[in-house]
Amino acid sequence: MQPNNLTHIQSIRNDTSTTCYRIFSPKPNASKRLFILPHASGSASYFRQWHELVDADVEVVVIQYPGRENRISKPLINDMSQLVTTLAVGLRPLLNKPFVIFGHSMGGAVAYELTLKIQSYRYREPCHLVISAIEGPSCHHQGELYRASDEQLLAELTRLNGTQVDFNQYPELADMVLPLMRNDYQLIETYQPDLNAAKIACPVTVMAAEQDTELTIAEAQTWQQVCASSFTIKTYPGDHFYISSQASNVTKYICNLYPNNQNWLCAP
Residue 11: active-site member: no
Cβ-based neighbours of 42, under 8 Å, separated by 6 or more: 65, 104, 105, 106, 107, 162, 184
Residue 43: active-site member: no
Alpha-carbon span 45 to 91, nearest angstrom? 18
Given the residues 240, 244, 245, 248, select the one marked as catalytic: 240
Q: Phi and psi at residue 43, in whole multiples of 5°? A: -135, 170
236: DSSP letter = E
Half-sphere exposure of 41 (CA within 13 A, CB side): 21
Alpha-carbon span 15 to 64, nearest angstrom? 13
Given the residues 105, 120, 245, 248, select the one marked as catalytic: 105
Long-range Cβ pairs for the range 191-196 (8 Å, 24+): 191/80, 191/109, 191/140, 191/142, 192/140, 192/142, 193/109, 193/112, 193/113, 193/137, 193/138, 193/140, 194/137, 195/137, 195/138
Q: Looking at the annotation, which residues are catalytic?
A: 105, 240
